[in-house]
Amino acid sequence: DTAVSQTPKYLVTQMGNDKSIKCEQNLGHDTMYWYKQDSKKFLKIMFSYNNKELIINETVPNRFSPKSPDKAHLNLHINSLELGDSAVYFCASRSDRMNTEAFFGQGTRLTVV
């Protein structure tokens, strides 16, 4: 019954590899996000998708590409992984109604070795 689910929960991979993190929400929400939580625990927005259209793209390297096959899914693909990409990545979603709360997934801890 999880509202926002991410897979995998843990991901350990070597530098230079390409990996994907999947996110699904069953709340019928219109907007989905990817956030990165760095080693200092600071959460920063990476991407936001509204009805399958990218509406925010903060200063994130081109190696990161969000893909939204439908409104309920927002996957994050990362090419040529670097050590500095190690972090916890959170997916979130919210309704388009003005004053509604955001729901977050449990996070994916990515470790690049």
Partner 1 sequence: KQEVTQIPAALSVPEGENLVLNCSFTDSAIYNLQWFRQDPGKGLTSLLLIQSSQREQTSGRLNASLDKSSGRSTLYIAASQPGDSATYLCAARDFYGQNFVFGPGTRLSVLP
Provide the greatest CA pair distance for the chain.
42
Which of 13/37 has CB closer to partner 1? 37
Q: In terms of Cα–Cα distance, which of 60, 64, 79 is closest to 15?
A: 79
Q: Is 100 in the site for partner 1 (CB under 8 A)?
A: yes
Q: Tell me how far, at minimum, the Cβ of 101 lies from partner 1, in Å.
A: 4
Q: Which stretch binds partner 1 (CB under 8 A): 20-28, 30-38, 60-68, 72-80?
A: 30-38
Cα gap 67→2, rounded to integer Å: 21
Cα gap 18→66, rounded to integer Å: 13
List the one residue from 13, 50, 86, 95 that touches partner 1 (CB under 8 A). 50
Distance spanning both ends of the chain, measured CA to CA: 34
Report helix, strand and coil shares of the chain as percent, to nearest 5.
Answer: 5, 55, 40
List the one residue from 7, 52, 60, 103 that touches partner 1 (CB under 8 A). 103
Q: Is 40 in the site for partner 1 (CB under 8 A)?
A: yes
The CA radius of gyration of the chain, in Å to the nearest whole number, is 13
Q: Is 45 in the site for partner 1 (CB under 8 A)?
A: yes
* Positions in the binding site for partner 1 (CB under 8 A): 31, 33, 35, 40-45, 48, 50, 55-56, 90, 92, 98-107, 109
